[in-house]
Structure 1
């Protein structure tokens, strides 16, 4: 199953450094003892343990150095006091611990926890510990660690991922960058992550979206510290439930002219399906009118598939301006290719000055341009397209997806939606939104075409690029989740998502009373 998210999560996403600063502010300025704060975190983690795995049998706790390891020792102490069979491994030598982490280790010993030094364990004994565990608690590497995990942590991360038992990660899975969501080496694949004080942005994008499992948040009563510390979030967490209200209610006397006319420019020879998917998705996402400009040979198939769409077969870009004049929003790029036909279409779309969504080959063609009018467009690259637009490697994009989205927005203007698990939207003024969730069934051709059509339709209704990109992406994911409930992930195709759109958008509908019209 894909990772899920615990209820009642806040919207603010912070960098790891910001959360550390909040933690320090609470201790230094609000008089909260650091060890008491650590105990509160450990108690919260243990509550998750017993709530979700009440019959786990035996618990294996892996403790590193620093406060993350201290949390682990206190979780082990709580498990021991509650009569659980708990084994604790000191991955970092316990004798070198200091401060609150050392106090936590001493408390675990005082409570009768069997703390085993990793360096004294044979491979066969480690094999037994992992195979016998009903649950593994990962408290090895905290937010202060960067880069690929070194030994012995890397080897233990591998053992966690090969073990039959689920993993509860304390604060974040070991090996994950809490700010960027990147992982330079192996990372623990957790079934649940319980995190504290402030939500770390890296838990919700990149590798974080894949390895955190269910995310549970515990503020530890530090809300005043968040405000007092002056630390600002780096992004906002968004999902369908939180943004569906952005769609305005439709009055009983509504007509098609009120909800935008979307022109989809798509589908060179051999890629007619891309235009059909984008156009039908726009029609299913509330657009008042949808037109499709495509190659003439695709017209019959398009009309058969979606007769509500006005389909036009174009041989040359000079035929496009009259269609552009009638449109309020343009979606350009799905399947247009990089030949002369696609180049002509993109040139006409940009010259029109109409609000536009640029996707797929429009982005590849865009990457070769010196200057682009950028006041009213939405770019929707996947990491490969983003790398071409930034003239860098895909690995550089994935190393910090939020930074990459901001660079794209600064270079090309408008709004940028960087696709992938934990989709990132960057808007003017450095505003970042992260779409909460992922669905492995969406890893198939045509899903991006559906998204571009959806965003175009929402843009025609809202007239706001940032809101259109965020809402479109959130609805896209919600529809994929709804569709996969019946089809599963492997068999999910783009038309399944389109078919689920009415059910998703129905959740946002609110009709005013007659007196409000």
Structure 2
């Protein structure tokens, strides 16, 4: 797994490196050399490079890269807002003066026409304007420079973070550089992986800069870990012909209402497509005949319902009995929030089966806790796995932020941990969904590879909850890392959406299309990992 550090923790890691004998100056040199090497590898014909330097240490990296590229025979020109001798930062000024003495050509405070002409003639543009400490909106001249970079049509490499993007939040209120490659130093940052960062960064290359970096970054207590395929080996169920529909686990899906008929159907079909051997769907009896006609392979149980077509309190006993016969349970899709559905969710929280709570099941928990779940830790304490799958607005309601829900990956992680720390148990995982999803447990937060934008469609969350319930059923809740299992389910979900895009286009995918591709996605991911024998290590 790849560690992800908050920006403040990156600063502390830099200080830790200086304490083991690597000076800030040496770190800047290594960062500049790493950027120069990546620039050279952006094509076979890199002969002209334009480097846009700011006035801080990010600009200092650019001056080092300029000198390194010139030593390799590349025609380099550095664009700077002020004369190198006038830079206020001592280290950046020293790097700039050294590059000028080495013969690096500069362009000071260019007009827009001059800059556009330079950028369009370059083979690669290196962006070293604004670094990881930046937040807010870029000021002149950098706002103009960013526009010029994005309009030049030349390949772009950003150093540490695309200028204008917050490396912490992934926000860019004033616009940011859209890079082809981002070379980031020491470790990944949250803002590179979510929201605008997903579009702005292009391919991300991590430059460790020192052999001590791995240890120091781990000691810095990463805010999250980015998963690689081999990390899922312990939660994947190896293929075997020695199975039947019972040994592959059974899933109970509880949800639905006269208003939302499709949500529980999609969740149940996703659980089946993801590999569960047996799926049962429990819905209000008012809609059970309609739903049964849509899921021929899945038995439908009608639950007592009220006059509004929602599950009533009288269903609690039946639901509990069905749960006891199942390997895992999913509650919430399409059920709406009433006194009856809230009672059903409360009763399932008390059962001893692995439980996934999604959609209105989460909103029922918000109602039970008056939008203050961290103040009611006893509600979530149980002896079987519990997975909550809130998107940002649902997460906001759970923690009392319904008027200002989390708007970044950083805040998703923070609020998920507020829920986890109040509970304190190892059987809870919060799958905080957004442009990047974080699967957060007490042990660690795992970031699966984000899926495509086609997941932003109604019903895709129901599909994900069905996959998670299916994975829990197939492992019988006995997993080595609940967050890793949930992250694997997210990867299957995302890959299935990518396969659906090939058939329907990036804007044409619907949730049911994702369901149809789940089996293919699971097989494709499994083929990338070779299951080891007892004395072998996994190969990815």
TM-score, normalization: structure 2? 0.83
Match of 2:452 in 1: 439
Match of 2:526 in 1: 508
Residue aligned with 1:469, SS = helix
* Stretch of structure 1 that moved more, 256-265 or 92-101: 92-101
Match for residue 153 of structure 1 among 128, 142, 149: 142
Match of 2:269 in 1: 280
Matched, 1:100 2:95: no
Decide whether the 8 Å contact of 2:116 with 2:152 is kept in 1: no
Match of 2:504 in 1: 487
Decide whether the 8 Å contact of 2:468 with 2:486 is kept in 1: yes
Decide whether the 8 Å contact of 2:500 with 2:513 is kept in 1: yes
Pairwise CA distance, 1:394: 4.3
Q: Deviation digits for residues 294-341 of structure 1, max 9, x if unmatched?
A: 244654554454433221232334243332232232111111123456
Pairwise CA distance, 1:56: 5.7
Pairwise CA distance, 1:63: 0.6
Matched, 1:380 2:389: yes
CA distance in 2, matches of 1:348, 1:338: 15
Decide whether the 8 Å contact of 1:91 with 1:152 is kept in 2: yes
Decide whether the 8 Å contact of 1:180 with 1:402 is kept in 2: no
Match for residue 391 of structure 1 among 395, 400, 406: 400
Residue aligned with 2:115, SS = helix
Matched, 1:54 2:44: yes
Q: Which 4+ residue blocks in structure 1 deviate beyond 6 angstroms? A: 509-513
Q: How does 1:343-358 map onto structure 2 within 5 Å?
A: 343-352=342-351, 354-358=353-357
Cα gap change, 1:347/1:401 in structure 2, threshold over 3 Å: closer, same or farther? closer
Match of 1:237 in 2: 226
CA distance in 2, matches of 1:36, 1:188: 27
Matched, 1:178 2:177: no
Cα gap change, 1:387/1:126 in structure 2, threshold over 3 Å: closer, same or farther? same
Q: How many residues align?
A: 500
CA distance in 2, matches of 1:365, 1:503: 34
Cα gap change, 1:342/1:151 in structure 2, threshold over 3 Å: closer, same or farther? farther
Match of 1:4 in 2: none
Residue aligned with 1:402, SS = helix
Pairwise CA distance, 1:291: 0.7
* Stretch of structure 1 that moved more, 468-477 or 296-305: 296-305
Matched, 1:227 2:205: no
Pairwise CA distance, 1:103: 2.8
CA distance in 2, matches of 1:49, 1:505: 36
CA distance in 2, matches of 1:76, 1:358: 53
Match of 1:321 in 2: 320
Bigger relative contact order (CA 8 A; separation at least 6): 1
Q: How does 1:65-464 map onto structure 2 within 5 Å?
A: 65-91=55-81, 94=84, 95-118=86-109, 121-183=110-172, 185-220=174-209, 222-227=210-215, 230-296=219-285, 298-299=287-288, 302-316=291-305, 317=312, 318=315, 319-339=318-338, 342-352=341-351, 354-370=353-369, 371=376, 373-375=379-381, 376-392=385-401, 393-394=403-404, 396-398=406-408, 400-410=411-421, 414-428=428-442, 431-462=444-475, 463=477, 464=479
Gapped runs of 5+ residues in structure 2?
A: 306-311, 370-375, 534-540
* Stretch of structure 1 that moved more, 208-217 or 301-310: 301-310
Residue aligned with 2:246, SS = helix
Decide whether the 8 Å contact of 2:253 with 2:279 is kept in 1: yes
Q: Deviation digits for residues 458-503 of structure 1, max 9, x if unmatched?
A: 1223314423322211221222223324433111222222222212
Decide whether the 8 Å contact of 1:180 with 1:401 is kept in 2: no
Cα gap change, 1:288/1:394 in structure 2, threshold over 3 Å: closer, same or farther? farther
Q: Deviation digits for residues 121-155 of structure 1, max 9, x if unmatched?
A: 33333343444444321111222334443443334
Decide whether the 8 Å contact of 2:256 with 2:264 is kept in 1: yes
* Stretch of structure 1 that moved more, 462-471 or 278-287: 462-471
Decide whether the 8 Å contact of 2:438 with 2:445 is kept in 1: yes
Cα gap change, 1:472/1:288 in structure 2, threshold over 3 Å: closer, same or farther? same
CA distance in 1, matches of 2:257, 2:450: 33
Decide whether the 8 Å contact of 2:252 with 2:326 is kept in 1: yes
Decide whether the 8 Å contact of 2:357 with 2:387 is kept in 1: yes
Match for residue 40 of structure 1 among 21, 30, 43: 30
Pairwise CA distance, 1:184: 5.2
Q: Deviation digits for residues 409-462 of structure 1, max 9, x if unmatched?
A: 345772111112221122125x21222334111111111010000011112233
CA distance in 1, matches of 2:231, 2:31: 27
Gapped runs of 5+ residues in structure 1?
A: 1-9
CA distance in 2, matches of 1:409, 1:167: 41
Match of 1:5 in 2: none
* Stretch of structure 1 that moved more, 153-162 or 58-67: 153-162
Residue aligned with 2:461, SS = helix
Matched, 1:474 2:473: no
Residue aligned with 2:62, SS = helix
Residue aligned with 2:368, SS = coil
CA distance in 2, matches of 1:130, 1:171: 20
CA distance in 1, matches of 2:7, 2:204: 16
Q: Deviation digits for residues 222-261 of structure 1, max 9, x if unmatched?
A: 2324425842322111144531442232544333333332
Pairwise CA distance, 1:293: 1.1
CA distance in 2, matches of 1:512, 1:117: 59
